[in-house]
Chain A
Amino acid sequence: MKNYFRAPIVCAASLFLVLPFVNACGIRAAPGNPQAAAPPDLNGVWSAPFTPDISKTLGHQPPFTPYGAARFAKEDEFDDPLTKCLPIGPARGIQAGIMPFQIVQTPSVFTILFENQHTFRIIHTDGRSHPKDVEPTWFGDSIGKWDGDTLVVDTVGLDDRTWLDTAGHEHSDQLHLVERFQKVDNNNIKWTVTFEDPKFFTEPWSITLPIARQNTEIMSYSCEENEKDRAHLRRSKK
């Protein structure tokens, strides 16, 4: 009987002592509880490894539909929208922006500021849904929800003029992106992006890249200021 009464006291005392480590036990505050743990802080300047050809990360070409395969077969880097200073698009900005990006995070919005072309993404984290009719835009409509240590971002309504990478992987305006920004530690994020596009791909496919914190700031950039090299572009395919 003594032990029966003592156990809860010992347990409560132990919990008090280890309160700072309670997260390590997998104990989390219930959703909606005002004491609920705040989502991870991902503010800062970050960069992913430059990945100009996502098929190399995937290990093979994406599961093209016949239409997607035909489009890729005739695509030429000469036609890369970036050569015309058009926006880089949401996922390519992260995996092949060649420049770092800054995350600015508030409870209701998660923004990604790209040094590349000084473009940005706004990801709504206020619980809203996608609009019923989304007009395609360069960065689409993005909503995000925290799932523990991971921000899950859902993006639709993407302009089909963006490319998925420098190698010429394209998509339609039916592209649906699901990204998972999983905080590994203060200096590392595990980023997984899933591409779903019934016009170009027979099934969804994903790549994962490490995103690392950068000891730098976002620098100035302009694509148009003194563009000289478009004149030297050459087609590699007929």
Chain B
Amino acid sequence: MTFTYLTNSYGEHEMKRYRLNILAAAAALLLAGIPLRAHHGNASYDNEHPITIKGAVTEFAWTNPHVQIYLDVKDDKGGVVHWSVETYSPGKLVRAGWTKDSVKAGDQVSINLIPAKSGAPVGFLHKLVLPSGKELGLQEQEN
């Protein structure tokens, strides 16, 4: 019945073209990467210069609108810099495979992020690697 409905509405050629458009849109999305700007556009982070930091998690806040990860990162001079790293909402992270227990205080993690334009030790998470080697990112489940 679905097929008869489609042929009635579009005709096969138009349907094929539309499906190609959907494929092209999907491909464009993949090429563009995951959109990392939740609701602040380009105003917060330097999207062009991602960095990776490593350190010990001090708190994992499973909160809206952004999950927050706080960690202590050792610098070259032996000092410790306290970083605040935010990412998407818990709802979006659940669809990407995270849970509220994915990260714990004390975990040594590696985080790839885009840093704040302000220069503060603040960033938006692209990907986190747990001590086990497990990676958590932002790619949500496929249909």
A99→B89 CA distance, assembly (Å): 10
| Chain B contacts with A in 12-29, Cβ cutoff 8 A | 15, 18, 21-22, 25-26, 28-29
Whether A83 contacts B43 in the complex (CB less than 8 A), given A219-B90, A228-B86, comes out as yes
Number of interface residues of A (CB under 8 A): 57
A71→B42 CA distance, assembly (Å): 18
Stretch at the interface among B3-11, B102-110, B129-137: B3-11
Whether A167 contacts B38 in the complex (CB less than 8 A), given A24-B4, A186-B2, A227-B65, comes out as no
| Chain B contacts with A in 111-143, Cβ cutoff 8 A | 116-118, 120, 122, 140-141, 143
Tell which of B7, B41, B63, B91 touches A226, judged by Cβ atoms closer than 8 Å: B63
Tell which of B18, B40, B90 touches A233, judged by Cβ atoms closer than 8 Å: B40
Whether A210 lies near B90 (C-beta < 8 A) is no
A15→B7 CA distance, assembly (Å): 18
Taking CB atoms, residues of chain B closer than 8 Å to A52 are 35, 37, 41
A168→B38 CA distance, assembly (Å): 15
A-B contact pairs, 21 of them (CB 8 A): A23-B8, A24-B8, A50-B35, A77-B41, A83-B40, A167-B41, A182-B9, A184-B18, A188-B22, A219-B94, A225-B64, A225-B65, A226-B61, A226-B66, A229-B122, A232-B118, A232-B122, A234-B43, A234-B44, A234-B118, A235-B43
Q: Name A residues whose Cβ lies closer than 8 Å to a Cβ of B.
A: 20-21, 23-26, 49-50, 52, 76-78, 80, 82-83, 98-99, 115-116, 148-149, 166-168, 182-188, 190, 209-210, 212-216, 218-230, 232-236
